Amino acid sequence: RKEVEQDPGPFNVPEGATVAFNCTYSNSASQSFFWYRQDCRKEPKLLMSVYSSGNEDGRFTAQLNRASQYISLLIRDSKLSDSATYLCVVNRSGNQFYFGTGTSLTVIP
């Protein structure tokens, strides 16, 4: 079983739409969680960390459900500039980071 699983999409949504991505992880000992964003032919960059209490940054909201071992990312009022691949990342301990395959989002005018 993969450490981290994501629906690869693609998700094609109109501007202004709300879109949600989910990610599941297999190891219950995982301790920290992140969403990274990767633009086409660019390197991944941190979008937000995902804390147990959930966190919000502008139009982006991340939630963690430890009991069900999943992480979610909600994007409200989608912009064209949100088009990218969103990577779910889990850290089990120390420097052991596990990445999902990514979910592709295209926001359409």
**Residue 60 binds another protein, judged by CB under 8 A:** no
Alpha-carbon gap, residue 55 to 101, rounded angstroms? 23
69 binds another protein (CB under 8 A): no
Give the strand pairing for 11-14 and 70-75.
unpaired
Instruction: Please state, as a whole number, how many other Cβ atoms lie within 10 Å of the Cβ of residue 103.
Output: 22
Least distance in Å: CB of 109 to another protein?
27
Among the listed ranges 21-29, 57-65, 66-74, 85-93, the one in contact with another protein (CB under 8 A) is 85-93
Which span sits near another protein by CB under 8 A: 10-18, 26-34, 55-63, 70-78? 26-34
CA distance 6 to 28: 17
